[in-house]
Copies of this chain bind each other. A is one copy, B any other.
C-alpha cells in the first residue's frame, strides 16, 4: 500500500484509462495545460484576460498545488501566458514593431539627414534610453571580421532603445578606432544622419550591408536589460557595413525582444 492510497479515487483515475480510451497516458499537467490552451485559442480568454489560478485548477482538476503550477508553467514557457506576482496569470498579447531591413538602410534615409531608426517607428515612440561610447580592445570575433589586428582598439557604441517605456532593443556597434578618431562618431550624439553619414564624410561611405539573424532564449543579463518575460526569445541581428572594395567599417550587434519585432526584407529576384 505504502503511499499508494492517500486517495484511491485519484490513483485509479490513472490506472483505469488504459483500458478505456488508452489515450490518457499524457501527464496530468499537460492535459490541464491543453484545456487551457484550447480555451485561449477558442477565444474564451482574450489577450490580457486572467486565467484560472492555481487554486482554481487544484479544485477543478483535483490535483496538488505543484501540478497546477506545472500546467501554468507550460503556458508561460510557450509565451502564451504571463504571471504577475500576487495578481494572477494572464493571457499575453503580441503587437510588434515592423523593422524594414533593406529600405531603412537605403541611402536616402541617412543621406537625407534622418536617423535610420526613424524608419522603424511609424509614428510610435521609439527612443534611445541609454548611450555609452568607449574605446576598447577588439574582441576576437570583431577583429576577425573588421580585418584589424587582434586586440587593436575599436570604438564601441552601446545603446538601448525604448518603445512606450518598454526596452525593446540593445545595439552595440564596433568601428575601427583609427578611422573614426576625432569625428562625431565618438560622441554620444553623432549628428544628422547618424554614424553612416559621418562615415561617408570620412571617406568610408557604406555601400553594402550584411545582416545575420539568429534566435535563442535570452541570457540572464539580456532578460534583465530588456525586461523580458518568461517564454520570450530574443532575436540577434549582426550587421556588417561595407565601404568600397568590400572594406568592413562597422559591425552592429543587436538584441531584440522577439515579442516586439517583425523583421521585413524586400528584394528583387
Knowing A214-B96, A217-B233, A230-B77 are in contact, say whether A208-B265 is a contact too (CB < 8 A). no
Instruction: Pick the most buried of A106, A205, A208, A269: most chain B CB atoms within 10 A of its CB.
Output: A269
Indicate if A216 sits at the interface (CB-CB under 8 A).
yes
User: Which of B208, B210, B216, B262 interacts with A258 by CB under 8 Å?
Assistant: B216
Inter-chain contact A208/B77, CB cutoff 8 Å = no
Q: Give bound CA distance, A29 to B269, whole Å.
A: 52
**Residue A259 interfacial (CB < 8 Å):** yes
- Once A208-B269, A233-B233, A269-B106 are accepted as A-B contacts, the answer to whether A217 and B262 lie under 8 Å apart by CB is no
- Cβ of A163 within 8 Å of any chain B Cβ, yes or no, is no
Number of interface residues of A (CB under 8 A): 46
- Residue A268 at the B interface, CB < 8 A? yes
Interface string of A211-247 (1 = CB under 8 A from B): 1111111111000000000111111000000000000
Closest Cβ of chain B: how far from A83's Cβ, in Å?
14
Please give the distance in Å from A96's CB to the nearest CB on chain B.
Answer: 7
CA distance A209 to B216 in the complex (A): 26
* A207 contact from B66, B208, B264, B268, Cβ within 8 A: B268
Main secondary structure of the interface of A (DSSP, over half): mixed
How far does the alpha carbon of A230 sit from the alpha carbon of B206 in the complex, in Å? Answer: 40
**Complex contact A208–B267 (CB within 8 A):** yes
Judge if A105 is at the interface, Cβ distance under 8 Å: yes
Q: Which residues of B contact A93 (CB under 8 A)?
A: none
Q: Count chain B CB atoms within 10 A of each CB in A34, A210, A267 and give the residue with the most.
A: A267
User: Contact at A267–B216, with CB atoms within 8 Å?
Assistant: no
* A209 and B266 in contact, given A77-B77, A215-B235 (Cβ under 8 angstroms): yes
Query: Chain B residues near A194 (CB, 8 Å)?
Result: none
The answer to whether the Cβ of A44 comes within 8 Å of any Cβ in the partner chain is: no
Option from B94, B213, B266 in Cβ contact (under 8 Å) with A263: B213
CA distance A249 to B66 in the complex (A): 50
Residues in chain A within 8 A of chain B (CB atoms): 34, 37, 66, 77-79, 94, 96, 101-102, 105-107, 205-220, 230-235, 258-259, 261-269
The 7 closest A-B pairs by CB, nearest first: A233-B233, A215-B215, A213-B263, A215-B258, A79-B217, A211-B265, A107-B269
Further contacts, 10 of them, CB under 8 A, given A210-B266, A215-B233: A78-B220, A207-B268, A209-B268, A214-B261, A215-B235, A215-B258, A216-B232, A216-B258, A217-B232, A265-B267
